[in-house]
Amino acid sequence: MSEERGMGIIVETIARATIPLIGIFGAYVVSHGHLTPGGGFQGGATIAGAGILFLIAFGLGEMKQHYNKNLYSILEGLGGLAFLGMAMLGIGVAFFYNTLWHNGPIFNGRPGTLLSAGYLPVMNIAVGLKVFAGLVSAMVAIASYRRWGK
């Protein structure tokens, strides 16, 4: 299948080096969503960009060997559940009550540090996970959908 091969030696080598960097930069954007510009969606889309770079640089054939539909489906559901779980934590007062910030054991540090802002960092990670898994799944599904040449 000619469409399933990658883009050549230079693109593949650069992709090998940059995909971990894109991943960790996306993780930085996600985990500092309460401190710096960005957040769950932006960081998740960045990490999904790394996945799409893998898909384009190495081709669909290689992607199919490393992509597990059930795993990504579970990750996306897990992200949504973690978001809901954080929203339910303060249900004794109200839905979305930020109990971690007001009296909860962690995530109530001095504002401006990493472990502050209550449930926000956890929710950002949940949204980032969901967006990453969803976008990568969508792109793999679109790339696999082929009736063009047949």
Q: Name the site residues for other proteins (rule: CB under 8 A).
A: 8-10, 12-17, 19-21, 23-25, 27-28, 31-32, 54, 66, 109, 113-115
Instruction: Give the nearer residue to other proteins in terms of CB position, either 10 or 94.
Output: 10
Q: How far is the CB of 13 from other proteins (least distance, A)?
A: 4
Helix (H, G, I), strand (E, B) or coil at 68: coil
Nearer to other proteins, 5 or 16 (CB): 16
Cβ 30 to other proteins, closest distance in Å? 9
Name the minimum Å distance from CB 98 to other proteins.
19
List Cα–Cα distances, 10 to 15, 64, 123, in angstroms: 8, 21, 38
Helix ranges, 89-148 (H): 99-103, 120-144
* Phi and psi torsions of 113, nearest 5°: -90, 170
